[in-house]
Amino acid sequence: MQSVLKHSGRAELAILALAALALALLLFAGPAFAGADTTFDTALTKFTDFLEGSGGKIITVLSLAGGIVALASGRFSMGQIAIPVGVGVGAGTGIPIVTSTVTATI
């Protein structure tokens, strides 16, 4: 009988703790507005500028160099040509597409 009371007390305590947590969340929760947060704007701007500028060119050239090295090793595949082209297109046009999609008003 005493064992049943111990477990019952723990369950009641857990329920009480969850209820207190839920009440605290309701009381301290503030409104959230989509797109109003500017916490990571500077990081996003720097990263986007890097990929659209010299960083994107460096990544594309390194990808092309990897394809050329693979061609020189004697094994040919279309991926050695398609991957550098895809990386170049992605770095050049993919960033503005993703940025405009994310910042679009729905």
Q: Taking residues 10-25, what's their average pLDDT? A: 83
Task: Report d(CA 101, CA 106) in Å as an integer.
Answer: 10
Contacts of 91 (CB under 8 A, 6+ apart): 51, 52, 55, 56, 57, 59, 60
Q: Quote the percentage of the chain above a pLDDT of 90.
A: 0
Contacting residues for 95 by C-beta, under 8 A, at least 6 apart: 48, 51, 52, 56
Task: Select, from the ranges 12-16, 76-80, 93-97, 99-103, the one with the highest average predicted confidence (pLDDT).
Answer: 12-16
Where do the structural domains in the chain lie, given as residue ranges? 1-32, 40-106
What is the tens place of the pLDDT at every residue in 46-77?
Answer: 888 888 788 888 888 888 888 888 878 877 77
